[in-house]
Amino acid sequence: MKADSIAILGLQWGDEGKGKVIDFLSENCHAVARFGGGANAGHTIVVNREKFILKLLPSGVLHQDKLCFIGSGVVCDPEVLETEISDLEKRGISTGGRVFIDYGAHLVLPLHKASDGHLEASRGRGALDTTKRGIGPAYADRASRIGIRVVDIFDSKALALKLDTLFGAHESMLNEIQDEALINRSSLAQSLSHYEILFKPMMTDVGPKIMDLIRSGKKVLFEGAQGALLDIDFGSYPYVTSTHTTTGGIFSGLGIPPQYLGSTIGVFKAYMTRVGHGPFPAEITGDFASKLREKGGEYGSVTGRPRRVGWLDLVMLSRMININGIDKLAITKLDVLDGLDEISVCESYEIEGRKVSDVPANHPDFYNARPVYTKLKGWDKPTAGIRKLDKLPKEARSYLDYITEKIGIPIWLISTGYSRDDTILADD
């Protein structure tokens, strides 16, 4: 079977502009499925000048005829999901009968959000700067086999026992926090039963549904959240999120085997950003960094935090392309580099006098890695809004050609603005 499905994965630290690419490509798909992460994601999509930020719902939801799936690999904050759905309904986008969530998706509860903040505070100077959306603690409870899943809220007796175990496990944290609302188990049980109405029509066994669609020739898009450099194993641990953001997460997060994945598109930004702490060899600071941040609107869409900015790092990009098995690349925000005299690209690192061309496994090395840059000529004519490859300024083409030559994978999609239409397909 040759599966007609595509995965869209971020190759940097998240915020690569996946939302736009997913929205653009989902037009030709029958369904979009989210396999990991939670409301720590913030996919920004602009349609007809209207801005949408989606945290849990797959970005394909903006196309009213698409089915949307949330797999068991996602941790779901029911409050966020409910608000997101009702906000879309208010804006004229109906979701009824086309959004589905797996029975086994774990819930993010108020206790997880409190625990996230508490853990961060206890880390002191070693804080990770998480989104504080309860992601780490919810996945930790899942791994400890004490989490609460979507299906659990439909059996109130069993749920009460499960909540006892969960609260017992978090007792010392709850004692330290001393928040009455947080320890009120009966009000939590009550609020969870309220979500029966939300989940009942959505709850399903996601894996078989997706496999049926693909077997019947329908195209499915697998939507990545966060980026490869935030993968729990392959990112810059511990400055990572708590899931597999790389290709492997698709199969475990949706419950489908690898032969159901057709091709994999990796999305990266023309420069780099990171929110939260952790190594960032090609980071830039000072006035120029502030200008780039402003021009690119580089503020977290979930938390509003200013993003750290830097030049494109080909060492990291190559590694993440290999880990994910990327077939084609999509570059976003090329227009943010418009008007620069010169553009730097990090090609290798220098660590204690040695030239290093791969991502260091060891943390201190990563922190000591100094970027070795190649400088390319910038372009003064705008790329913003250009929709044909041959209309790009010559130097912008050279920038793309240089990346392709170094990376060895074709750049297939180029995004030149926020709007759905500000997109170039290289083979168009």
- We find the least distance from the C-beta atom of residue 119 to ligand IMP, in angstroms, to be 10
Residues with Cβ < 8 Å from 107, sequence gap 6 or more?
75, 76, 77, 78, 138, 147, 148, 149, 150, 152, 153, 192
Q: Which residues are catalytic?
A: 15, 43
Give the amino acid at 25: L
CB nearer to ligand IMP: give 56 or 400: 56
CB proximity list for 277: less than 8 A, separation 6 or greater: 127, 128, 129, 239
* Residue 389 near residue 404 (C-beta atoms within 8 A): no
Instruction: Give the footprint of ligand IMP on this chain (CB under 6 A).
Output: 13-15, 40-42, 128-131, 133, 135-136, 226, 230, 239, 241-242, 275-276
What letter would DSSP give residue 149?
B
Nearer to ligand IMP, 56 or 203 (CB): 56
Rg (CA), the chain: 22
* Number of residues written out for the chain: 428
| Closest C-alpha among 306, 348, 296, 335 to residue 422 | 335
| Minimum distance of ligand IMP from residue 356's CB (angstroms) | 24
CA atoms within 13 A on the CB side of 291: 8
3-state secondary structure of 19: helix
